[in-house]
Amino acid sequence: MVHVTSLHGERPRAEGFAAPPDPANRPRRSSGRDMDRLTHTHATMEQALDKGVRAAQARFTAGLSPIALAAAFSDWALHLSTAPGKQLELVEKAGKKAWRFANYAALCARDPDTEESCITPLPQDRRFRGEAWQKWPFNAMSQAFLLNQQWWHNATTGIEGVTEQHEKVVEFATRQMLDIFSPSNSALTNPDVLTATFNQGGMNLWRGWQNFIEDVSRANTGRKPVGAEAFKVGRDMATAPGKVVYRNHLIELIQYAPTTEKVRPEPILIVPAWIMKYYILDLSEHNSLVRYLTSQGYTVFMISWKNPDADDRDLGMDDYLSLGIKSAIDAASAITDDQKIHAMGYCLGGTLLSIAAAAMARDHDTRLKSLTLLAAQVDFTEAGELTLFINDSQLAFLEDMMWDKGYLDTTQMAGAFQLLRSNDLIWSRVIHDYLMGERSEMNDLMAWNADATRMPYRMHSQYLRRLFLKNDLAEGRYEVAGRPVAISDIRTPVFMVGTERDHVAPWRSAYKFNLLSDTDVTFVLTNGGHNAGIVSEPGHPHRHYRLRRKAKDDPYTDPDTWMAGTEAVAGSWWPVMVDWLGEISGEPVSPPPLGSGTRGYPAVCDAPGTYVFQE
C-alpha cells in the first residue's frame, strides 16, 4: 500500500466548504445515536460486544441483515395470512396456470416442435431464447418455470398493508431463490449444456471444474480474474499523458497534456466515483473520454482517489468535499490563471459534485462555469433495487461490519451489485464458464471492473444514511460547513446523462434533477448500462441517444412523457456534450503549463500517478 503525505501547504479556501480537518483529529457533527454508531474509539465494552457479534454474523450472510430479511418476510406473511381474498385469488391463479400448462403439455405431446407457448418471458429475460429451448421436453420445462415464477410474483406483490420496501425485498429475494432452480442453470436440464457434454464427451464439465477451481483460488488469494493481467494500468489502460500536479492524503490531481495548439480557456475537472478506480474515463486509447476531450481542445484535470484502508476509517463526506473537490478546484483554478471551470462528475462523484456546486452557489462562489453529471443522482427516492438494502436495520448491520474493519471491502460491494443483475452477472457466468467450460474474452472495461476499491467506514455510513435513507440533499437538510445546501441554488447550466439499463443510478432517478433545479438543464438518455453507456465513444456500434433541453422557466415534463416525445438519434453522445461545452466556452488560447510551481502546484510525477496502483 502506498502512503503519501501532502506536498503542498494550506491553500485559500472557498467560503462554501469546510476547512480540511486534520485526519488525526477530525471533528464530528453527528450526535446521539449517530455519534455512537460512527465513533470507533468511544464505543463502550457492551457496544463493542454487540458490534463484534453482528460483524461476525455479516461474514456468513454476505453483509445482508437476517433481521431485516425476517422483518420483510414476516410483514408479508402476516398480512397474507389475514387476507382471505388474496389467498383465494392465488388459489385461482394457481389453478388457471396448471390448466394452461396441462393444455400446453398436451399440445406438445401431439406436436413436439410446436412454436406456441403459454407464457412469454419478460423482454430482459434471455435464458430461454435459444432454438433448443423450443423443443420438447425443454420447452415444457421453461414454460413450467416461467409460470411458477409468475405465480410467485403475484403471491409476493399487491398485498394491502405490506410496506413498499418490504414488498420489494420479498419479491426480490423470492426471485433470487427461484432463479437457483431455473432449468437453464442445471447441466441436466439445459439443452445447450447437454449437447456440449454429449459432443465433447464431458470435457466441457471437466474444463468448467478447472475454471471454477481457478476462480476460487484467485478470489481467495486476492488475485484479479483470468485475463486481467493483459490489461495493465499505465501500459494498456490509463495511458493518456499528463502529470500529477497536486497530492494530499485523499487525492492525486492529474492534469493531462494538451493535444491541440490552442485550448478553450476554461478547463474541465472530472470527479470520478471513488467506489472504483478513476480510469474508467481513460481506458484504452480508442475509448478514453480524457483523450477525446483533449483532442477537442480542452484542458482536462482528473481526480484519482486514494484507496482507503483501516487507518482512514474516520474519513467522512466533508473530507471528500474539502480534501477532494475543493482542493482540486483550487488547484485547477490556480494553474489555469483563475479561469472558471467546467466541472464533470460521474456516479458518486456526480452526487458529491452537486453538493459542492450547491454549497458554492449558496456562498456566491462563481468559479464553476458549468456542471456535467454522468449517471449521477441527487434524489434517492427511486434509486432502483439498490434501495432494497437501505433501511435502518440493514444499515446498522452494515455499519457494524464496517466498524470491525474500518472500511467496506471490495468483495462485499461487488456481491451486492451482482445480485441486482444475477441472471446477467452470476448465472450466465455459471453456465458459460462452469457448465459449458468456456472462458469469456477479457476486455478493458471488465479488467477495470475487477479493480475495485474500499469505502471508508464513516463516509459510506454517512452517504447511505444522509442520502439514500433520509434523502437529505433533495429535501434541503444536507449541511456543508454547518449550513444546509439546496440544488435549486445552482445557476450554472447543467448537462446530464442517464443510461437506459442503469441498475446503479436508474435514469428516471437521475432525471429527478429537473424537479429540484432552477437552471437550464440538457438531459441525454443513452442506451447501455451504468458503465457501458458512459464509455460510448464515437464509432461504437449499436449506440443511440435521446436529447432535450429545458430552460429554467420551462414547465416540468415527467420522464415517461419525455421518453415518448424524444426521438432516438444514432451514434455517441460525446460529440453532443462537446458541442454543448463549446457554446459556453471562450475562444481558444494557448495551453496552460502542466502544473504551476510559481502558484504552489509543481508537477509531482507522471500520470497515472501512484494512488491508482494501491491494492
Look at residue 140 in the predicted model and tell me its pLDDT.
Answer: 92
Look at residue 419 in the predicted model and tell me its pLDDT.
Answer: 57
Cα–Cα distance, 286 to 574 (Å, whole number): 13
Look at residue 593 in the predicted model and tell me its pLDDT.
Answer: 95
The answer to whether residue 13 sits within a structural domain is no
The answer to whether residue 419 sits within a structural domain is no
Cα–Cα distance, 176 to 317 (Å, whole number): 33
Cα–Cα distance, 608 to 106 (Å, whole number): 65
The answer to whether residue 265 sits within a structural domain is yes
CB under 8 Å to 164, separation ≥6 — which residues?
Answer: none
186 & 249 share domain: no
Give the range of the structural domain holding residue 492, as residue numbers without chain letter: 242-381+471-613
Look at residue 421 in the predicted model and tell me its pLDDT.
Answer: 60
190 & 281 share domain: no
357 & 483 share domain: yes
Place of cell 479493480: 451
Nearest to 370 by CA among 521, 242, 510: 521
Look at residue 1 in the predicted model and tell me its pLDDT.
Answer: 39
Q: What pTM does this model have?
A: 0.88
**Nine cell digits for residue 252:** 492525486
CB under 8 Å to 235, separation ≥6 — which residues?
Answer: none
Number of folded domains that form the chain? 2
The answer to whether residue 493 sits within a structural domain is yes
Cα–Cα distance, 333 to 330 (Å, whole number): 5
pLDDT in tens, 479-536: 999 999 999 999 999 999 999 999 889 999 999 999 999 999 999 999 999 999 999 9
Residue in 108, 118, 347, 605 annotated catalytic: 347
The answer to whether residue 16 sits within a structural domain is no
261 & 375 share domain: yes
108 tagged catalytic:
no
Establish whether the linkage from the previous residue to 493 is cis, with ω within 30° of 0: no
Nearest to 358 by CA among 194, 462, 477: 477
Cα–Cα distance, 488 to 492 (Å, whole number): 11
Which residue among 199, 227, 258 closes a domain? 199
Nearest to 233 by CA among 323, 315, 307: 307
Taking residue 66's Cβ as centre, other Cβ atoms within 10 Å add up to 13
286 & 138 share domain: no
Q: Tell me, what amino acid is at 73? A: F
Look at residue 14 in the predicted model and tell me its pLDDT.
Answer: 40
Look at residue 588 in the predicted model and tell me its pLDDT.
Answer: 97
Q: Which residues of the chain have pLDDT under 70?
A: 1-43, 58-63, 410-425
CA Rg, the chain, in Å? Answer: 26
248 & 129 share domain: no
Cα–Cα distance, 615 to 599 (Å, whole number): 33
Q: Tell me, what amino acid is at 472? A: D
The answer to whether residue 428 sits within a structural domain is no
284 & 149 share domain: no
Quick check: 376 and 404 in contact, CB under 8 A? no
192 & 333 share domain: no
